[in-house]
């Protein structure tokens, strides 16, 4: 079964710093990839997704992620973070024939004003 | 439009009791998913419905857990003889079709004393 690894458990940045959160998955076949965000006290919201096509995916709020098939990675990036980006970020994977979404353990991002 | 709703938002119960958690998916979404999220972890898949039938219940931890979706819309997750280890946030998600993006509800925080 596929698994998802998020290497950073807690990241602390100052405003305007650049962000990259790592995500690696173990499944070797075709995958669908997602990044979800959970702001304090709120529910999971979709940031961006990759199903096929251009491996550089742009999402909401200035986030983007790059699918690198050879590295089994789907890292999340943002050039300049804001205090309002403080949240928990989850990487997730599904496969075309398997509907259970596998999540990483999450990365908590704290942006200092 | 209205998102996925879950009730109650919080449930405190005693060990050994029976609980029901309700999920109202986004109108028109045929696929419905239940996940469980423990502290410091990503959501863990429990069960998936396509219409009224459970298409994949491989994530249910044991036979104390079961879920129904009798009319293909609202779903109820039922936990018998609750144990302290069942304490978690139970998340529901829905999608338009089973290969589409999943949209999450706010969750029900279950505490078993």
Q: What is the pLDDT of residues A4-54, one digit of tens each?
A: 999 889 999 999 999 999 999 998 788 999 999 999 988 899 999 999 999
Closest chain A residue to B102, measured at CA? A46
- Quote the mean pLDDT of chain A: 93
Chain B CB contacts of A4 below 8 Å: 42
> Do B57 and B83 form a contact (C-beta atoms < 8 A)?
no
User: Does residue B103 surpass a pLDDT of 80?
Assistant: yes
* Domains delineated in chain A: 4-112 (2.60.40.10)
pLDDT digit string (tens) for B56-98?
899 999 999 999 999 989 999 999 999 999 999 999 999 987 6
Residue at B40 is within a domain: yes
B113 occurs within a structural domain:
no
Provide CB contacts within 8 A for A63, sequence distance 6+.
Answer: A35, A47, A48, A76, A77, A78
Which chain B residue has the Cα nearest residue A33? B101
Residue B15 inside a domain? The answer is yes
DSSP B4-71: -EEE-SEEEE-TT--EEEEEEPPTT--EEEEEEE-TTS--EEEEEEETTEEEE-TT--STTEEEE-TT
Which residues in chain A have their CB less than 8 angstroms from residue B105's CB?
43
Q: What residues in B contact A92, CB-CB < 8 Å?
A: 42
Whether A44 sits inside 8 A of B58 (CB atoms) is no
Please answer whether residues B66 and A28 qualify as being in contact, where contact means their C-beta atoms are separated by less than 8 angstroms. Answer: no
Mean pLDDT of A81-104: 90
Within-domain flag for B50: yes
* pLDDT cut 70: percent of chain A above it: 97
Determine, yes or no, domain membership for B112: no
User: What pLDDT score was predicted for residue B1?
Assistant: 56
User: Whose structure tokens read 């079964």?
Assistant: A1
CATH number at B77 reads 2.60.40.10
The residue segments making up the domain with residue B22 are 5-107
Interchain contact, B31 vs A96, CB within 8 Å:
no
Q: How many domains does chain B have?
A: 1
> How distant is the Cα of A48 from the closest Cα of chain B, in angstroms?
10
Q: Which of A4, A34, A99 sits opposite B48 (nearest CB)?
A: A99
């Amino acid at each position: 079964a596929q698994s998802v690894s998020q290497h950073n458990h807690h990241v602390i940045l100052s405003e305007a710093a650049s962000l990259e959160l790592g995500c690696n998955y173990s499944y070797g076949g075709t995958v669908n990839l997602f990044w979800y965000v959970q702001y304090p006290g709120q529910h999971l919201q979709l940031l961006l997704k990759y199903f096929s096509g251009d491996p550089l995916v742009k999402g909401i709020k200035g986030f983007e992620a790059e699918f690198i098939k050879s590295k089994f990675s789907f890292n999340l990036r943002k050039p300049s973070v804001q205090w309002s980006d403080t949240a928990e970020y989850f990487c997730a994977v599904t496969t075309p024939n398997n509907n259970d979404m596998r999540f990483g353990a999450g990365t908590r991002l704290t942006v200092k004003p | 439009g209205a998102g996925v709703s879950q009730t109650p938002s919080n449930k405190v119960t005693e060990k050994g009791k029976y609980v029901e958690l309700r999920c109202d998916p986004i109108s028109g979404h045929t696929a419905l998913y239940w996940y469980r999220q423990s502290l410091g972890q990503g959501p863990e898949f429990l069960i998936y419905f396509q219409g009224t039938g459970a298409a994949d219940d491989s994530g249910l931890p044991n036979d104390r857990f079961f879920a129904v979706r009798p009319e293909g819309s609202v779903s109820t997750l039922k936990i018998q003889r609750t144990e302290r280890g069942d304490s978690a946030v139970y998340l529901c998600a829905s999608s338009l079709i089973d290969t589409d993006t999943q949209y999450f509800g706010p969750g029900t925080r279950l505490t078993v004393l």
